[in-house]
Amino acid sequence: MVSKDCIMAFQIVIASVMCSYNPEDWTELCQEAEASGADALELNLSCPHGMGESGMGLACGQVKHHL
């Protein structure tokens, strides 16, 4: 049997970050995710689900100079 500690050693946490385009917000959210133990970050720049009207997700990712 594989021990719980051994299984936990192979688990990773990926934090998905999404906000409107404001460099300070992205920086703060990414730093908070990292401080909380995230091993990797997904910058959500392509989400089409209802956030475009708020300038988030897909709306943010479609503006080249924001990337």
Task: Give the catalytic positions in this structure.
Answer: 47
C-alpha torsion sign, points 48, 63, 29, 42: positive
Count of other CB atoms within 10 angstroms of residue 9? 8
Token look-up 């990926």 returns: 14
Cα separation, 46 vs 27, whole angstroms: 18
